[in-house]
Copies of this chain bind each other. A is one copy, B any other.
Amino acid sequence: MSQRSWWGWGLADRALTDSEIHALAERVGPLLPLDGAVTPVPPVPALPPPRVRPPASLASAVSGADADRVAHAYGKAYRDVVRALAARLDNPPDLVARPDTEAAVAALLAWAGDAGIAVVPYGGGSSVVGGVEYRGDGPWLSMDLGRLAGVTDVDETTLTARAGGGTFGPALEAGLKPHGLTLRHFPQSFEFSTVGGWIATRAGGHFATGPTHIDDLVQAVRVVTPIGVSESLRVPASGAGPAPDRLFLGSEGILGVITAAWLRVRPRPRRTAAATIRFDGDTAGLAAAREIVHSGLQPANCRLLDPVEAALQAGVRDGGARLLLAFESAGAPVDDLAAHAVAICRAHGGTTEPTGSSTSGAWRESFLRAPYVRDALVRLGVLIETVETACTWDRFPALHAAVVRAARSAGPRGATHVTYRVTHLYPDGPAPYFTILAAAPRGGEVDCWDAIKTAVNDAIAAHGGTVTHHHAVGRDHRPWYDAERTAPFDAALRAAKAALDPRGILNPGVLI
């Protein structure tokens, strides 16, 4: 059985091989002034002993073993991988708990409250924003929800399914498949993220338009808070007071532990229509994408790659941007809709590429493989960061220019490349996803990353973008989230937190 990597993404045996890394080096060599070295993966660092011990009644659910603690020390951001590769584990958890019942979750919270131990809920550990890494001084426990997993109910009449909070993406889909159903929620972390983690971070998924955030796919949430269990009513819609699930969606572990949810699933798609459109530049592609959503179309995919992304990710090096367009349905016709979208693209100067072109398939392949490639790039000394936001259409051109400027001025000497794609589209604006590539100063990676992150996030905030469209806030985005939320909302959120977690043990430092 494959082991999870302790230092990088996913499964250890799926990391790039040495020969793959060298091939990668040859590809990126012309772009970046790399030194040719490949950082070795260090042995697992030895840890100081845990500062706390669980009571006997909880001992079976709690581990103080180094292997568990190392694996739960960090998320999977660039700065996490860099630090792990330097054998630097800043503040590993004292303990890792794996409760297999809600009663155990509640007992752990009660004990942690009594003992003054911080508790960080841990789903798949794929956070790229410092969401699972405690940065306080005292002892802390990483609560891995992996045993509260599985699809426990599937209801074909209402197209809903109930899953444990610790259910990973593939396990969820495997539980739905025999019923001909799917959630169609495929964040890039799909294989290594969980239902509860998606809900806690308001994950964004597969669809480029329409119900793409997990927010829209949740029928009811079950949460164990330090003051009791909350499970919202299982109804298709309600107008009764502020929506209770919306308090827990995006709560990032500070209000409670998400142990289960009823999800809105759908029949597997039976009809699809897809097209790849080439535009001379991204401006025309953006205009076409805007008109597509303004016309009332809801394509499942409508992903715009700027010319550099098209070259790097999809291998089409003709200087053009690409719009990957797809419609799908469980029965309703889609051909007319796709034809209408293509007609809009043509009116904006787009040209359709022959069906069977591998552009779209190549891109999907690269999407799933990207985090492993990222890890290999880190070992090659590449600073690689992805930054995403959403802004209104009118503000995007200036925001884009400012992000490029900020990354280049804050980045290391030598080339800093900034590419982007648009992953999600709304009638009022796009959600751009920037990739920043530079040669990292060896030994100074974290400082360099911090400088770029600060400059880029400042630029995004100055140009009306949100600090995150779907990566969450965690600890890394705190300064900009602090500025983004209003004083009254801050007061309300703090009050809600104090009411639900009166001893302040849940994920301290995140959000507020």
Contacts and interface: CB of A to CB of B under 8 A. Distances in A.
Contacts of A248: 242
A53 interface: no
A246 B243 CA distance: 7
A493 B242 contact: yes
Given A235-B465, A296-B330, A496-B496, 13 more contacts: A230-B487, A233-B466, A235-B466, A237-B426, A238-B390, A241-B485, A243-B246, A243-B250, A244-B486, A246-B246, A247-B247, A247-B492, A266-B294
A296 B266 contact: yes
A236 B206 CA distance: 17
A204 interface: yes
B297 A332 contact: yes
Nearest to A329: B296
Given A294-B267, A332-B297, A473 B240 contact: yes
Contact of A468 (B239, B426, B499): B239
A488 B471 CA distance: 27
Interface stretch (A138-146, A219-227, A363-371, A379-387): A219-227
Interface residues of A, number: 98
B266 A237 contact: no
A227 B213 CA distance: 32
Copy number in the complex reads 2
Nearest to A293: B159
10 contacts: A159-B427, A202-B239, A202-B243, A234-B464, A236-B390, A238-B468, A242-B247, A246-B247, A247-B247, A267-B294
B219 A428 contact: yes
A243 B249 contact: yes
Interface in A313-363: 329-333, 335-337, 340
A432 to B, nearest CB: 11
Interface string A463-491: 01111111111000100010011111101
A391 B236 contact: yes
A511 interface: yes
Nearest to A480: B240
Interface in A389-403: 390-394
B236 A430 contact: yes
Given A333-B336, A340-B331, A240 B484 contact: yes
B477 A431 contact: no
* 3 tightest Cβ-Cβ pairs between the two chains A and B: A236-B426, A295-B331, A495-B499
Interface of A: 155, 157-160, 201-204, 213, 215, 219, 223, 225, 227-244, 246-252, 255-256, 264, 266-267, 294-298, 329-333, 335-337, 340, 390-394, 424, 426-431, 464-473, 477, 481, 484-489, 491-496, 498-500, 511
Contacts of A240: 250, 466-468, 472-473, 477, 481, 484-485
A43 to B, nearest CB: 37
Contact of A213 (B158, B215, B239, B249): B239
A501 B138 CA distance: 35
A78 to B, nearest CB: 19
Contact of A227 (B219, B234, B487): B487
Contacts of A204: 239
Given A295-B329, A499-B494, A489 B235 contact: no
Contacts of A500: 488, 491-492
A34 B295 CA distance: 52
A201 B201 CA distance: 27
Contact of A488 (B230, B233, B295, B466): B230
B486 A496 contact: no
A249 B242 CA distance: 6
A468 B493 CA distance: 25
